[in-house]
Structure 1
Amino acid sequence: MLSKEIMIKNKTGLHARPAAQFVKEAAKFKSAISIEFKEKKVNAKSIIHVLSAGIAAGSIIHLSAEGEDEQQAIERLSEVIEKFEE
């Protein structure tokens, strides 16, 4: 299992369009992927779960992946989140 701490710098947080793009990208991986935020762990492949986490700008999340492509998942999803900062 791999995990990475990431700060959400996007001014709208991980909501609506950014969340949909993130979930779409997460679904491409075979690994189980989750986001931990405020002691809550949610399935990163579920738009409902990601939106319900209420991840706002400035939040620090823990992105975790476990499975055969966990390294690629963490790297790619970190890139996706960083792209939202532009």
Structure 2
Amino acid sequence: MLTKTFTIQNPSGIHARPARLFVEKATSFPCEVNVVKGSKKINGKSIMGLMTLGAAKGDQITLEISGEQVEEAMEELGKLLESVHE
């Protein structure tokens, strides 16, 4: 398993559009993606789960990725979390 912590940079946090983009990218990889914020751990391939985290700008999010293509998945998903685009 590969684990890395990222800081949300989007001024609006993880709202509907960034959550959709994240889930679309996560489902493109043949690995398991978990997203952790505080004591909450959700499936990173679930848009509803991601939205329930209530992640805002500046929040720390940890990705736990296991299976195939973990390095590629971590790089691509991390870029989305640290993106400042709305």
Indicate the TM-score class for this superposition, using the shorter chain for normalisation: over 0.9
**Partner SS for 1:35:** strand
Q: Please, which runs of 5 or more residues in structure 2 have no aligned partner?
A: none
Residues in 2 aligned to 1:81 and 1:56: alpha-carbon distance in whole angstroms: 11
**TM-score between the two structures when normalised by the length of structure 2:** 0.93
* Equivalent residue, structure 2, for 1:14: 14
Residues in 1 aligned to 2:72 and 2:18: alpha-carbon distance in whole angstroms: 20
- 1:51 maps onto 2:13 in alignment: no
Residues in 1 aligned to 2:43 and 2:11: alpha-carbon distance in whole angstroms: 23
Residues in 2 aligned to 1:79 and 1:60: alpha-carbon distance in whole angstroms: 14
Identical columns (%): 38
**Partner SS for 1:36:** strand
Deviation at 1:15, TM superposition (A): 1.1
Deviation at 1:82, TM superposition (A): 2.6
Q: Please, which runs of 5 or more residues in structure 1 have no aligned partner?
A: none
Query: What is the count of residue pairs matched by the alignment?
Result: 85
**Partner SS for 1:55:** coil
* Equivalent residue, structure 1, for 2:73: 73
What amino acid sits opposite 1:33 in the alignment?
V
* Equivalent residue, structure 1, for 2:40: 40
**Partner SS for 2:65:** strand
**TM-score between the two structures when normalised by the length of structure 1:** 0.93
Deviation at 1:67, TM superposition (A): 0.3
What amino acid sits opposite 1:47 in the alignment?
I
